[in-house]
């Protein structure tokens, strides 16, 4: 067996339908007395429900979270947390809301309790991003890792079906790249394979029965595992491509992951045969790339960058940006091959 290091950073995780009712207990566990509740503008109703559960321990509800954490939004949230005397944050939402809580934690060390409502997995990672002058700066800091996470599947019932599918594919992407990460280890590989398996089973059930709480819960179980590996091992070409396309061309996060994943895995297939075999096993399909492509088709998710609003004449610049800085990937970064990958993804062609 290959040598490896395994380090754990504890997050307390609570699962179960209705488990948001345990929020006061989780705050007690962290010694939080006054929590600022964060949501997006679209989810303020949820924020007020959470405020009701917290009662006098709610310092306020701030519904200002938006995608990619603009620095002005982060600064104003940091000010609000100070002004309201908050000693912790409750982030009720997806990656955007949890991202805002992380920006506050980075500045003030306030502990985060997260109630995820998508399958993006940010609640299990020390990764943060803040956008200034159109450039998203990302980093890793264990201070921003949520200390407590409550996976209540009832909070995902309102997530539209299409976003449920693409968000689930976003989670699968974390696990797929963890399986060939150079700093991976056998424990994270187990989690990654099980995470893919759980989501590949849950998503088709959710597509036909979006109110199926068991399927919602299974998807959150997969999300937990996929988010954990995202937070602990280095991602490769797939995440780099998605980060570039989302950050520099303003394409929607989960949808980009969904379109790119089979193409990125096809690029790496010959250089990472063991990882691909594990992905195929988790999908219960003979081959990983074809299996993911077929899963996407069965879920009715977007297939092309064109339908996400990417301009054809931006593909050259995207390829340049992706190869600009070196990062770990099983197959070396070859601009010509990456440009061809982007062309296929743009057109919605099958992965090469
Ligand atoms: P999101 O948080 O941006 O949510 C998308 C939209 O769906 C928002 O309008 C939100 O209000 C709405 N929504 C969320 N949950 C809902 C629900 N249950 N019911 C109804 N509406 C709901 O989407 P996301 O994909 O979770 O997050 C994307 C962002 O998170 C990106 O900025 C990405 O870079 C970041 N992210 C960070 C990490 C990390 O580890 N730091 C991991 C994954 C994603």
68-96 residue pLDDT tens: 899 999 999 999 999 999 999 999 999 99
What is the distance in A from the centroid of ligand 1 to the CA of 325? 27
Please tell me whether residues 85 and 148 are part of one structural domain: yes
| Average of per-residue pLDDT across 294-298 | 96
Q: What pLDDT, in 10s, does the model give residues 177-218?
A: 999 999 999 999 999 999 999 999 999 999 999 999 999 999
How far apart CA 6 and CA 249 sit, in angstroms, is 36
What is the CA angle 37-15-34, rounded to 5? 25
What is the distance in A from the centroid of ligand 1 to the CA of 65? 10
Please tell me whether residues 116 and 40 are part of one structural domain: yes
Mutate to test the pocket of ligand 1, among 161, 253, 257 (most ligand atoms within 8 A of CB): 253
| pLDDT exceeds cutoff 80 at 352 | no
Q: How distant is the alpha carbon of residue 117 from its chain centre?
A: 11
Question: Does residue 3 belong to any structural domain of this protein?
Answer: no
What is the distance in A from the centroid of ligand 1 to the CA of 279? 25
Please tell me whether residues 113 and 192 are part of one structural domain: no
Structure tokens, 114: 């997260």
How far apart CA 300 and CA 298 sit, in angstroms, is 6
Question: Does residue 65 belong to any structural domain of this protein?
Answer: yes
Whole-model pTM?
0.96
Please tell me whether residues 218 and 304 are part of one structural domain: yes
What is the distance in A from the centroid of ligand 1 to the CA of 216? 16
Please tell me whether residues 108 and 192 are part of one structural domain: no
CATH number at residue 327: 1.20.1090.10
Please tell me whether residues 186 and 133 are part of one structural domain: no
Please tell me whether residues 107 and 233 are part of one structural domain: no
Please tell me whether residues 149 and 165 are part of one structural domain: no
Print the domain residue range for 63: 12-156
How far apart CA 217 and CA 208 sit, in angstroms, is 15
Question: Does residue 1 belong to any structural domain of this protein?
Answer: no
| Average of per-residue pLDDT across 254-258 | 96
CB of 64 shorter than 6 A to ligand 1: no
What is the distance in A from the centroid of ligand 1 to the CA of 94? 3
CB of 97 shorter than 6 A to ligand 1: yes
Question: Does residue 45 belong to any structural domain of this protein?
Answer: yes
Last residue of a domain, one of 123, 156, 189: 156
CB of 251 shorter than 6 A to ligand 1: no
Please tell me whether residues 59 and 196 are part of one structural domain: no
CATH number at residue 58: 3.40.50.1970
How far apart CA 233 and CA 179 sit, in angstroms, is 9
pLDDT for res 219: 98
Kindly list the distances between the CA atom of residue 58 and the CA atoms of 1, 52, 78, in Å, as whole numbers in the listed order: 50, 8, 16
CB of 42 shorter than 6 A to ligand 1: yes
Please tell me whether residues 115 and 246 are part of one structural domain: no
How far apart CA 201 and CA 214 sit, in angstroms, is 11
CB of 40 shorter than 6 A to ligand 1: yes
What is the distance in A from the centroid of ligand 1 to the CA of 58? 23
CB of 244 shorter than 6 A to ligand 1: no
Q: Report residue 247's pLDDT band, with 50, 70 and 90 as the boundaries.
A: confident
Q: Report residue 165's pLDDT band, with 50, 70 and 90 as the boundaries.
A: very high
Question: Does residue 5 belong to any structural domain of this protein?
Answer: no
| pLDDT exceeds cutoff 90 at 133 | no
CB of 43 shorter than 6 A to ligand 1: yes
Q: Report residue 154's pLDDT band, with 50, 70 and 90 as the boundaries.
A: very high
**Greatest C-alpha distance within the chain:** 59
Higher pLDDT, 282 or 7: 282
Please tell me whether residues 288 and 266 are part of one structural domain: yes
Please tell me whether residues 170 and 244 are part of one structural domain: yes
CB of 228 shorter than 6 A to ligand 1: no
The H or E element that residue 106 is part of is helix 95-108
Question: Does residue 24 belong to any structural domain of this protein?
Answer: yes
pLDDT for res 1: 75
Question: Does residue 58 belong to any structural domain of this protein?
Answer: yes
Question: Does residue 300 belong to any structural domain of this protein?
Answer: yes
Mutate to test the pocket of ligand 1, among 102, 120, 228 (most ligand atoms within 8 A of CB): 120
Last residue of a domain, one of 156, 179, 196: 156
| pLDDT exceeds cutoff 80 at 164 | yes
Number of domains the chain is built from? 2
Last residue of a domain, one of 156, 182, 199: 156
Which atom of ligand 1 is found nearest the CA of 155? 18
How far apart CA 132 and CA 350 sit, in angstroms, is 36
């Amino acid at each position: 067996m290959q040598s490896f290091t395994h380090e754990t950073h504890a997050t307390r995780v609570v699962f179960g339908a209705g488990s948001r009712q345990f929020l006061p207990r989780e705050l007690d566990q962290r010694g939080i007395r006054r929590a600022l509740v964060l949501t997006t503008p679209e989810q303020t109703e949820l924020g007020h429900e959470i405020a009701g559960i917290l009662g006098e321990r709610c310092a306020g509800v701030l519904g200002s979270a938006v995608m990619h954490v603009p620095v002005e939004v982060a600064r104003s949230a940091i000010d609000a947390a100070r002004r309201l005397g908050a000693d912790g944050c409750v982030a009720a939402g997806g990656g955007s809301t949890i991202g805002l809580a992380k920006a506050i934690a980075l500045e003030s060390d306030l502990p985060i309790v997260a109630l995820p409502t998508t399958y993006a997995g940010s609640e299990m990672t020390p990764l943060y991003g803040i956008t200034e002058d159109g450039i998203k700066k990302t980093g890793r800091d264990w201070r921003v890792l949520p200390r407590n996470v409550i996976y209540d599947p009832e909070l995902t019932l309102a997530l539209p079906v299409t976003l449920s599918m693409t968000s689930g594919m976003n989670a699968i992407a974390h696990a797929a790249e963890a399986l060939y990460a150079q700093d991976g280890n056998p424990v994270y590989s187990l989690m990654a394979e099980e995470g893919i398996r759980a989501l590949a089973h849950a998503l088709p059930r959710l597509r036909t029965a979006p109110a199926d709480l068991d399927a919602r819960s299974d998807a959150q179980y997969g999300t937990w595992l996929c988010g954990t590996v995202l937070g602990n091992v280095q991602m490769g070409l797939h995440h780099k491509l998605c980060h570039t396309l989302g950050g520099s061309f303003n394409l929607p996060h989960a949808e980009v992951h969904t379109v790119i994943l089979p193409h990125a895995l096809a690029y790496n297939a010959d250089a990472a045969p063991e990882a691909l075999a594990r992905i195929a096993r988790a999908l219960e399909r003979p081959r990983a790339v074809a299996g993911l492509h077929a899963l996407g088709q069965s879920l009715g998710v977007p297939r092309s960058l064109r339908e996400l609003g990417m301009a054809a004449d931006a593909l050259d610049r995207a390829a340049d940006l992706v190869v600009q800085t070196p990062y770990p990937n099983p197959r070396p970064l070859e601009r010509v091959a990456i440009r061809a990958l982007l062309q296929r993804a743009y057109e919605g062609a099958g992965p090469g």
